[in-house]
């Protein structure tokens, strides 16, 4: 099993759309960052009451449950892409419409501990995959959503995507929730 952590991807390894996510992640060992996120995110979610789990900061915005479920869904998609490209599968992969997925997922009918456990399970799977990726495979790339992207860029995007949404929760949701 490899424990090689990939360096930060070059801007040319991913679509410019993902640059804010990659920039969200501090320099250092990405695999350690992903593992630490698992615990820090769990701590944040443990502090949210069942009442506040359904909170939306504005009409038409996702609930806290939907945000957490979206993080898990997106991570599954990004990790699947990374798996395919790490295995040298050059088949172009389609995009996904997260806004169409949310109503179908039914996150608001579940409890926060249940959705949080799903996110934790997804991250465990992601870590298992990434810990097995060879130094050579981290640099492989493929096409997703019509754009080239590398395996290591996908890993950094996963970490940054979660950081982005936790920041959104902190800035837009938590200040407006009842204590």
No. of H helices and E strands in the chain? 8, 2
pTM: 0.95
Say how many domains are in the chain: 1
Packing angle between helix 64-86 and helix 98-105, nearest 10 degrees?
120
Question: 4 in a domain, yes or no?
Answer: no
Question: 82 in a domain, yes or no?
Answer: yes
What CATH number does residue 113 fall under?
Answer: 1.20.120.450
Lookup: tokens for 115: 């959705």
pLDDT at 4: 80
What average pLDDT does range 82-107 have in this prediction?
A: 97
Which tens digit of pLDDT belongs to each residue from 69-79? Answer: 999 999 999 99
Question: 134 in a domain, yes or no?
Answer: yes
Lookup: tokens for 161: 């995507």
Which tens digit of pLDDT belongs to each residue from 1-17? Answer: 455 889 999 999 999 99
**Structural domain of residue 136, as residue ranges?**
11-176
């Amino acid at each position: 099993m490899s424990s090689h952590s990939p360096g930060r991807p070059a801007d040319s390894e991913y679509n410019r759309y993902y640059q804010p996510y990659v920039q969200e992640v501090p320099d250092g060992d990405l695999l350690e960052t992903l593992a630490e996120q698992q615990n820090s995110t769990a701590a944040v979610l443990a502090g949210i009451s069942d009442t506040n789990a359904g909170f939306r900061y504005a009409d038409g915005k996702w609930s806290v449950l939907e945000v957490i479920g979206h993080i898990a869904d997106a991570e599954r998609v990004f990790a699947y892409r990374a798996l395919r490209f790490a295995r040298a599968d050059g088949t172009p992969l389609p995009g996904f419409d997260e806004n169409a997925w949310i109503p179908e997922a039914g996150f608001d009918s579940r409890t926060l501990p249940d959705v949080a456990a799903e996110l934790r399970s997804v991250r465990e799977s992601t870590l298992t995959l990434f810990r097995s990726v060879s130094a050579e495979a981290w640099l492989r790339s493929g096409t997703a959503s019509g754009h080239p992207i590398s395996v290591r860029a996908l890993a950094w995007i996963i970490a940054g995507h979660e950081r982005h949404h936790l920041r959104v929760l902190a800035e837009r949701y938590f200040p407006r929730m009842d204590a």
